[in-house]
Amino acid sequence: MSVVILVSILLTVLVWAAFLQRNRRKNEPPLDRGFIPWLGHALEFGRDAAAFLTRMKAKHGDVFTVQVAGRFVTVLLDPFSYDHVVWESSNKLDFGKYAKILMERMFDVTLPDFDPAVEKAMLRSHLQNQNLPSLTRTMFRNLSTILNDGSMSATTWQEDGLFNFTYGVMLRAGYLTLFGSESVQLSAPGRDLQHSLHVYREFRKFDQLLMKSARGILSAAEKKEAALLKENLWQLLDANTLRRRANRSSWLEAYQHHLEELKVPRDMQSRAMLLQLWATQGNAGPAAFWLLLFLLKHPEAMAAIEGELKMMLQKVKGLEEIGQSELESATIFNSVLEESLRLTAAPFITREVLTDLPLRLVDGTEYLLRRGDRLCLFPYVSPQMDQEIHPEPQVFRYNRFLNADGTEKREFYKKGRRVKHFTMPWGAGANVCMGRFHAITSSIKLFVWLLILNFEFELKNPAEGIPDFDRSRYGFGVLQPDGDVQFRYRRRSHPGRL
């Protein structure tokens, strides 16, 4: 019987291999199917996408097609040609189809008439421009409340994992800023502190299973755990409960109204809210972690940040009085953050090819994209780790994005030609992250400055190296460390002053 089963399996594999046999057509990119029928390069791609795509780039050049679990993915790694993709019509290169797959696979969310453009427009109108100062004030208040709570306000040394500490404070404050508070009385934040901590702890456990969920490789036990965590989070983010919360952001009001207009059932609205919690809060905490770690590892960068902050505070009575334009124009902080993100932000920019489509590179080479394939850009490999654009790309240089006179540096070159997209942590084009200004100005800057002003903090083991990445997170935004880094902190005897 076992022989019959083995023969059946072999025949099935051979049939699939014959069915999926693909040859490179004229003008198509180099094709690399790998050695395993159907599976192709899926294992290597999933294990370490950056290393795999770097190897493929060395082998095939800036454009190539690989087979990954039955799909053919064309990868473009020429930053000069990215605009041809990120601004192409959604009738030819579509983002929504792949987004729907991930929404359902990761969050059990299916929305009728889902249109990414509509949601992007909503985020743009509520997380940018005239609404940004109000969000900044609310975020400042929530960050201050959390950092003043309990053991965090003690003047004796406390220990924690830097990632856990940073992610926790950032997600809790961001959640309260966008999703509202338990009580109208801001002077009595006890319930909000407890509730936001519960949301963070449940979300963090769920977040640790998300990458396996996205790839469909959860074990039976992990599926059961993920289902239980989602149920808990859906209850915490219940649509009716959110409507009763105080100090709700204009974004939450608009998004809930949008779901009502789509006639989305109440249980599905709660699922959509979990998706939005991840989308709005999943990157800021990890980004702040890496920034703080680089500052602690590079005293010259910390000194530069502190010097810039001290100069800003000479003009006002406190951090809360710094205006929005001054917050945004902190050039040294901006350079340090941009360098940190260059080293740690690794999203895929993915499109479904809806029609046979020519792709012309800036050097005049033209390739044909095949309908039904998936197109992928990976800016982490190029431009962010391109040594011609960024010399010694693996090295942290806090002033990499500063000119000699201290102004913002925006000119980078490759092969003698200026590169428009020299770093892309927030994506680009029609699908650029709409919440990036809120994340940078209202969240990361305020958090780091509040920490510097109010706390002494240091690494517990300064000689310990930078942790490796959790490589399973390539493609999903800012990376997370493979393990935490222990640090200690205590409140300054004279908080608010340097």
Both tokens of 161, joined, read: 């994992």
| Collapsed DSSP state (helix, strand, coil) of residue 178 | helix
**Beta bridge pairs of residue 459:** 487
Share of the chain above pLDDT 90, in %: 78
Tens-digit pLDDT profile for residues 246-264: 999 999 999 999 999 999 9
Lowest mean pLDDT among 358-362, 366-370, 410-414: 358-362
pLDDT given at position 112: 86
In Å, how far are 124, 377, 397 from 351, measured between CA atoms?
Answer: 21, 9, 33
* Torsion sign across C-alpha atoms 214, 384, 79, 282: positive
- Is residue 105, in this structure, part of any structural domain at all? no
What one-character-per-residue DSSP string does 1-54 give?
-HHHHHHHHHHHHHHHHHHT---PPTTPPPEE--SSTTTBTHHHHHH-HHHHHH
Instruction: Tell me the longest C-alpha to C-alpha distance in the chain.
Output: 83
How many separate domains does the chain show?
A: 1
Angle between helices 116-127 and 250-261 (to 10 degrees): 160
Long-range contacts at 369-372 (CB < 8 A, ≥ 24 apart): 369/28, 369/74, 370/25, 370/28, 370/72, 370/74, 372/72
CB burial of residue 60 (10 Å; 0-12, 13-18, 19+)? middle
d(CA 4, CA 189): 67
State mean pLDDT over 203-226. Answer: 96
In Å, how far are 10, 84, 151, 194 from 189, measured between CA atoms?
Answer: 63, 49, 16, 9
CATH code, domain carrying 293: 1.10.630.10
Lowest mean pLDDT among 28-32, 213-217, 360-364, 471-475: 360-364
Phi, psi at residue 480, to the nearest 5°? Answer: -115, 155
pLDDT given at position 190: 86
Range of the domain at 327: 116-345+425-491
Phi, psi at residue 248, to the nearest 5°? Answer: -70, 145
- Is residue 361, in this structure, part of any structural domain at all? no
Contact 346/474 with Cβ under 8 angstroms? yes
* Torsion sign across C-alpha atoms 233, 141, 165, 342: positive
Lowest mean pLDDT among 41-55, 301-315, 321-335: 321-335
pLDDT band at 475 (very low <50, low <70, confident <90, very high): very high
pLDDT band at 16 (very low <50, low <70, confident <90, very high): low
Element (H, E) at 93: strand 93-94
- Is residue 90, in this structure, part of any structural domain at all? no
The contacts of residue 392 (CB under 8 Å, 6+ apart) are none
State mean pLDDT over 36-43. Answer: 94
Helices (H), 115-249: 116-127, 132-147, 162-179, 190-215, 220-236, 239-243
Q: Look at strands 31-32 and 349-353 and give their pairing.
A: unpaired
Measured between its terminal Cα atoms, the distance across the chain in Å is: 77
Return the exposure string of 168-207: e unless at least 16 CB atoms fall within 10 Å of the residue's CB, then b: bbbbbbbbbbbbbbbeeeeeebeebbebbeebbebbbebb
Share of the chain above pLDDT 70, in %: 94
- Is residue 311, in this structure, part of any structural domain at all? yes
d(CA 71, CA 83): 24
Strands of 361-415, DSSP E: 366-369, 374-377, 413-414
- Is residue 209, in this structure, part of any structural domain at all? yes
pLDDT band at 2 (very low <50, low <70, confident <90, very high): low
- Is residue 372, in this structure, part of any structural domain at all? no
Tens-digit pLDDT profile for residues 206-217: 999 999 999 999
Q: Look at strands 366-369 and 158-161 and give their pairing.
A: unpaired
- Is residue 292, in this structure, part of any structural domain at all? yes
Tens-digit pLDDT profile for residues 277-309: 999 999 999 999 999 999 999 999 999 999 999
Contact 459/149 with Cβ under 8 angstroms? no
| Collapsed DSSP state (helix, strand, coil) of residue 330 | coil
Contact 377/348 with Cβ under 8 angstroms? yes
Report the mean per-residue pLDDT for the chain. 91
Q: Rounded to two decimals, what is the model's pTM?
A: 0.93
Q: What is the DSSP letter of 439?
A: I
pLDDT band at 19 (very low <50, low <70, confident <90, very high): very low
- Is residue 154, in this structure, part of any structural domain at all? yes
**Beta bridge pairs of residue 475:** 347
pLDDT given at position 3: 57
Q: Does residue 4 have a pLDDT over 80?
A: no
State mean pLDDT over 93-115. Answer: 91
d(CA 251, CA 104): 23
pLDDT band at 130 (very low <50, low <70, confident <90, very high): confident
Contact 161/485 with Cβ under 8 angstroms? yes
